Every structure is written in C-alpha cells, then in structure tokens.
Amino acid sequence: MSAPLLHLEKVTMQFGGLKAVCDFELAIRPGELVGLIGPNGAGKTTVFNVITGVYTPTRGRVMLDGAQVSGLKANRIACRGVTRTFQNIRLFPRLTCLDNVAVAAHQHRKAGLASALFGTNAFQRDEALLRAQSLEMLQVLGLGDYADAMATELAYGQQRRLEIARALAGRPKLLLLDEPAAGLNPQESEELMRLITEIRRRFSLTILLIEHDMKVVMGICERIAVLDYGLMIAEGSPSEIRSNPKVIEAYLGEDTAHA
C-alpha cells in the first residue's frame, strides 16, 4: 500500500462553541476517488475548507505528500497541488470563460510583473502558452466554443463544468469537488460521472468529492466516508456504506432509496 497523498490527522475545527468537525481522520492514496457524504450541516464543506486552507484547523493537521500544509495560506496550498470547486459556484463573473481558466494557470507563469507591464517578448510567449493551455482545458470540458463568453452567460450545468476546468488548470494532484452534480438533471449527472472518470484518468488525478446525489457517489467512488454532526460515522466501499445501519440512520428521512 502506497503512502497517502492526503492525510487528515485528527482534524478538529471549532467555531466558538460549535465543533463543525471533530477528530476527523482520513487518508487518501494517490489515484483514489473518494466520496465524502453526510446529511446537510454535517461538516463536509468545512473539511474542504480546512484542506484548502480557508480555515486553519483548531486541532490536528493536514498532511500533503508527507508535508504539513495546515496553517499555510490558501494560495500556497493551491500551489502545492490542491484545487477545488465550490458548492455555490464561485466563478469570476466579469471575466470570460477563457480568462476564468487562465487565472488558475497563473501559478505556472514564468514572466514577472515588470515584463508584463512592458510587454516584453518573453512575456508575450508566456502569455500565448497560457492561453493555449487554458483553451485546451476548456475543450476537454466541452466548453471550447465558449472561450470568449462571459462566465455568467453560461447555463448552470456549464458553469459547474467551467469551475472544474478552472480547478484543473491549476494542474492539481488532488482535486476537491464540492457537490458537482448539485442542480443537474439526471442526464447531466450521467455526463458528469463520465467526465470525472475521464479527467481522472487523463490527468492521473486523486479526487475527493462531496455529493448528495447517491447515484453519482455510489457510481464512481471507490471509497466513501460518512460524516454526521462533524464525526466520521462510517468509512468503506459503496456496498459497505449502503448496508451500514449507522449511515441509514443518519440519513433517515432522506432519500436513501436511491442508494
């Protein structure tokens, strides 16, 4: 068994009196596709925020490739190869789709600020390369025709894909997807599942994904962790999770019928 790419070591995140996440332990090996599920308010997005450095955990630490990343600023963690999408889509509304993606490619630039200001040749080459790469990424996500459209002009499902394209442009090792299927119709969800499988293979990604759509989670995840009230209540393969009484209890009243 290889060493974990991401290792959350007894992570606790506390806001005032509220423990949003408590002693959360999770290890993800390179290449794995892991699902993080749980009822609303269970602390799933908080886990993402801790991994990506939006929050510094109250206790415990986050290890990436064996090095501690908790405590680093969010942009440093992104540069170490962790990018994400957001539950409530956070595109840059006043930028074109291509520019949205190019922002993420930003960290791989070579030319400095001065050469950009004076428009040197080195800078022009760098810029052309960035644009080409960003366009390619749009094409991978089937958005090649929308390069010059403003991000807000896209349909909802396309905006979700644009967010994934943008996250991929950062060339991550670990991709975090926060409810990528939310608001998609069944057909779009099907496409999304294919897409996730494809980008995972193509960019040899490790993926951690939060999702409420059980069909998606059970369909593509190899391993699933279940959070409830900030505590991990179960971890295992989709079939194990499906039959776990604790999970069923946590979801009681929610649509476990799909699972």
Partner 1 sequence: MKRFLAPAITLVALLALNQSLPRFLNPYYFQVLILVGINITLAVSLNLVNGFTGQFSIGHAGFMAAGAYGSAMFTMTFGQKIAAAMIAAHLPPVVAQGAMLLASLLLGGGLAAIFGYLVGLPSLRLRGDYLAIVTLGFGEIIRVIILNVDAVGGARGLPGIPQWANFFWVFLVAAIVIGLAVNLANSTHGRALFAIRDDEIAAEALGVDTTAYKVTAFVLGSFFAGVAGGLFAHYLSYLNPSTFTFLKSIEVIAMVVLGGMGSITGSVLAAIVLTLLPEALRAVKDYRMVLYALMLIILMITRPQGLMGTRELSWALFGGRRRGGSK
Partner 2 sequence: MSTFLQQLVNGVTWGSVYALIALGYTMVYGILRLINFAHGDIYMLGAFIGLYASRWFNAAKDPSPVKALLVLLTSMLLSALIGMIIERLAYKPVRKSPRLSALITAIGVSLLLENGGALVFGEDQKFFPQLIPQKTIALMAGVSISNQQLIVLVVSIVLMFGLRMFVLHTRTGKAMQAVSHSHMAASLMGISVDRIITFTFMIGSSLAAAAGVLVALQSPKIEPYMGIMPGLKAFVAAVLGGIGNIPGAVVGGLVMGIAEVMVTGYLSPTYRDAIAFVLLIVILLVRPAGIFGKAVTEKV
- Binding residues (CB under 8 A) for partner 2: these are 45, 49, 54, 86
DSSP string of 64-106? ETTEE-TTS-HHHHHHTTEEE--SS----TTSBHHHHHHHHHG
- Per CB under 8 A, does 170 bind partner 1? yes
The residues in 126-155 that bind partner 1, with binding defined as CB under 8 A, are 126-127, 130-131, 135, 147-148
- Per CB under 8 A, does 52 bind partner 1? yes
- The whole-angstrom separation of Cα 189 and Cα 193 is 6
- Per CB under 8 A, does 50 bind partner 1? no
Window 78-117: contact mask with partner 1 (x via CB under 8 A): xx---xx-x---xxxxxxx-xx--xxxxxx-x-x-x--xx
Residue with smaller CB distance to partner 2, 62 or 241: 62
CB of 22 to partner 1, least distance (A): 24
CB of 85 to partner 2, least distance (A): 12
Contact (Cβ atoms closer than 8 angstroms) between residue 251 and residue 62: no
63, 74, 233, 259: which one binds partner 1 (CB under 8 A)? 74
Region at 104 (left for phi over 0; alpha for psi -120 to 50; beta for the rest): alpha
Residue 186: both structure tokens together: 């069944």
User: How many CA within 13 A on the CB side of residue 51?
Assistant: 30
- Per CB under 8 A, does 125 bind partner 1? no
Contact partner, 166, from partner 1, partner 2, none, Cβ < 5-8 Å per class: partner 1
CB of 154 to partner 1, least distance (A): 15
For 256, other C-beta atoms within 10 Å of its C-beta total: 14
CB of 119 to partner 1, least distance (A): 4
Contact partner, 159, from partner 2, partner 1, none, Cβ < 5-8 Å per class: none
- Spell out the alpha helix ranges (H) of the chain: 44-51, 74-79, 97-105, 113-117, 121-140, 156-169, 186-202, 214-220, 238-243, 245-250
Residue with smaller CB distance to partner 2, 49 or 189: 49
User: How many CA within 13 A on the CB side of residue 233?
Assistant: 21
User: How many CA within 13 A on the CB side of residue 170?
Assistant: 24
CB of 160 to partner 1, least distance (A): 14
- Per CB under 8 A, does 45 bind partner 1? no
Rg (CA), the chain: 19
Binding residues for partner 1, rule: CB under 8 A, are: 52, 54, 73-75, 78-79, 83-84, 86, 90-96, 98-99, 102-107, 109, 111, 113, 116-119, 123, 126-127, 130-131, 135, 147-148, 166-167, 170
